Chain A
Amino acid sequence: MKRLFMSVIGQSFSVSRTSRSRAGQAVSGHLFREGFLRRVNLWMLMAALLMTMQNAQAILTIEVTQGNDKAVKVAVSPFSWSGKKILPEDMASVVENDLRLSGLFAPLPRKDMLSFPSGAKDVVYRDWNILGASYLVTGQVKQEGATFEVDYQLFDIVRQKSILKGKARGVESQLRGLAHHISDAVYEKITGIPGDFSTRIMYVTADRKSVERTDYRLNYADADGQRQREILRSREPILSPSWSPDGSRVAYVSFESGRPAIFVQELATGKRQKLTGYKGLNSSPVFSPDGKQVALVLSKGDNPDIYVMDLATNKLSQITSHFSIDTEPDWMPDGKSLIFTSNRGGSAQIYQVGVNRLSNGTVVAEGKPKRLTFTGKFNARAKVFPDGKSMALVHKGQGAAEFNIAILDLDTGRLRLLTSARLEDSPSVSPGGRRLIYAVQGGRNGELGIVTADGRVKYRLPSAEGDVREPVWGPSLGAQR
């Protein structure tokens, strides 16, 4: 152990020396920084080593497939750390990665940095200006007992001043969560829009061993693909998972008994309840915006229609009644109408129907369903944006067109294609509406894709466990991480 430690220090010296010679060109005479750099580099290296170990365990990896050439340059200096042990997470790199994945920012590589400031007193604006950075994030981590505390700051390099100062506190297992919180704060300060980094994604992995056997898992993870946790494991299909609005419960379809049934499960306790197990389809559960009802699809052995289940009374109300396929419901943000897929017009298209909850828990449809999509041969699985002004859906145009993710503007009726891979499915919008996650089926293995709502930045999240599919973006976690 000691020998390993020494060799790490040896490496750290050489790294530090490279940094010094560069730093020396820009700012001469700052000799005190050398010791500081040496220390920081050691921790950085240790953190990097730890990260590699962690990555070996991580199930989802991230590959940026299309970047933003107009991204704002931001520098996240490695956080200083005064604890005795190694800082268990390289928090600065978590923040850096979040900002990169937002699509708006291009983080400055660490190797290009001339110094690693940890607070206002170490910031040399001229250095950062030369490097072209518009913003700089610094942080200091301290430990007291089991509690870690981070003091972070955001600097505007052009105006040469600190524009945000904050503290975040938590135990070791929350360090990544604290880093995501810092990313949210930084993002909001610069853009004026709340960040969506303290969120989770849920998805299904399917490991096909043979024609007879596939192992399915329902998992959730941080929005950056890390900290994966398992919700359910089965030899039979699992699909169409959905989050409760507070992120504490999930609903999903499981074929574990050989037939489909809808379950609602509490994440903290693992306790679950079978919501429906009717003859025929039990499909596409989705919580209402107030969390009190679940819209779902039942065929009861006949043909599929949209229903709403009241969770307090277990009362089931039928919303649509048509001999065609009605499926894939989603709630408008005000909870006063549902959108769904129907082939009643001859091909799969999106419709909207008003719903009204009566005082006895019954929900009734109001008026006739109204068709919302008119372009293309196939429009399905629509998910409404949080502002209710547009929706993401799976779209297929005429002829040999593929199934791709598109956004429909509900005011103008204009449809905008976002992606262009083969066989895409299951779009889901992030809480702020700035990013979408979706499934890509057409490659060797099913992968997840994330695209910014403006279509500028795309990345993929392949899984080490076979196919990954059915992604759904969870709500903001707020204080609980």
Chain B
Amino acid sequence: MRFVNFVKAAALSATALWLAGCASTGGESTSNVDTAPETVTEEVVIETTPVLDPAVQAVIDSGDVQASPEQIEQMLEQKTFHFGFDSSKLKEDDYKALDVQAAFLNSREGRGKNIIIQGHTDERGTRTYNLALGERRANAVKNYLVAKGVSPSRIEVISFGFEKPLDPAHNAEAWAKNRRAHIVIN
């Protein structure tokens, strides 16, 4: 996250200065623009040398995941996992992202962190049945992480049933968004 932000910021400022540079080559120049491009280009080059986010680095170092830093970055960002109706089965695509989460939690960087997994459902069925269903979803995520070596004592599961919908609309699209387990890392 921090890494990406930095790259974005660096890229943005570089773009701005490049544009300014173009303007300067266009003719009218100011004293400001004259000297600036050189220094900044230099800066960008220095800062984009791969200083990886420690979390991403930790996952790479674990050797548990085969993926590019960008992919790992992206998978670390994925904290929400969606489910089918009345189902607490994880989807095939989610396993890899959870592998990355587990690798991070097992790494030196992540070892000290506890997590909460929230379970959520859509509004169909009864509120109290959905509280139980939400817990099963959160437990599905927990069990996977535990199987990957994360200690269960570091994981708390809280089900909210459909008390906290992301989208309160009464349609299939909203329901799909709301059926989820969400990882919060402390």
Contact = CB atoms under 8 A, between A and B. Distances in A.
Interface in A419-477: 422-423, 425-426, 441-442, 469-470
A325 B157 contact: no
Interface string B133-152: 10110010000000000000
Contacts of B158: 258-260
Contacts of B136: 303, 325
5 pairs of A and B residues whose beta carbons are closest in the complex: A237-B163, A381-B126, A325-B132, A304-B132, A327-B132
B129 A380 contact: yes
Contact of B170 (A255, A281, A325, A441): A441
A240 interface: yes
Contacts of A184: none
Contact of A283 (B131, B164, B170): B131
B111 interface: no
Contacts of A255: 160, 163
B123 A281 contact: no
B128 A381 contact: yes
A394 B126 contact: yes
Interface in A397-437: 403, 422-423, 425-426
A325 B168 CA distance: 25
Given A441-B123, A441-B170, A442-B170, A348 B163 contact: no
A341 interface: yes
Interface in A209-240: 211, 214, 237, 239-240
A303 B163 CA distance: 20
B112 interface: no
Given A208-B168, A441-B123, 12 more contacts: A237-B164, A240-B127, A280-B135, A280-B159, A283-B128, A325-B132, A327-B128, A327-B131, A328-B129, A348-B125, A403-B126, A423-B123
Given A279-B156, A280-B157, A469 B127 contact: yes
Contacts of A303: 135-136, 139
A81 B76 CA distance: 75
A154 interface: no
19 contacts: A208-B168, A237-B164, A240-B128, A260-B158, A279-B157, A280-B157, A280-B159, A281-B131, A281-B159, A303-B135, A325-B136, A328-B126, A328-B128, A328-B129, A394-B125, A422-B170, A423-B123, A425-B127, A426-B127
Question: Looking at B126, B139, B156, which has the most chain A CB atoms within 10 Å of its CB?
Answer: B126
Given A279-B156, A280-B157, A422-B170, A381 B123 contact: no
B44 interface: no
Interface of B: 86, 123-129, 131-133, 135-136, 139, 156-161, 163-164, 166, 168, 170
A283 B156 CA distance: 17
B132 to A, nearest CB: 4
A281 B124 CA distance: 19
A380 B125 contact: yes
Contacts of B156: 279
Contacts of B133: 325
B135 A281 contact: yes
A205 interface: no
B126 A423 contact: no
A399 to B, nearest CB: 13
A255 B164 CA distance: 12
A303 B142 CA distance: 13
A1 B126 CA distance: 53
A395 to B, nearest CB: 11
A264 interface: no
A281 B125 contact: no
Contacts of A240: 127-128
Interface in A273-325: 279-281, 283-284, 297, 299, 301, 303-304, 325
Contacts of A331: none
A304 B157 CA distance: 13
Contact of A239 (B123, B125, B163): B163
Contacts of A299: 132, 135
B128 A211 contact: no
A29 to B, nearest CB: 63
A303 B137 CA distance: 11
Given A255-B160, A280-B157, A325-B136, A348 B124 contact: no
B146 to A, nearest CB: 12
B89 to A, nearest CB: 14
B160 A403 contact: no
Contacts of B86: 347
B32 to A, nearest CB: 44
A239 B161 CA distance: 11
Contacts of A380: 125-126, 128-129
Interface string A362-389: 0000000000000000101100000000
Contacts of B163: 237, 239, 255
Nearest to A299: B135
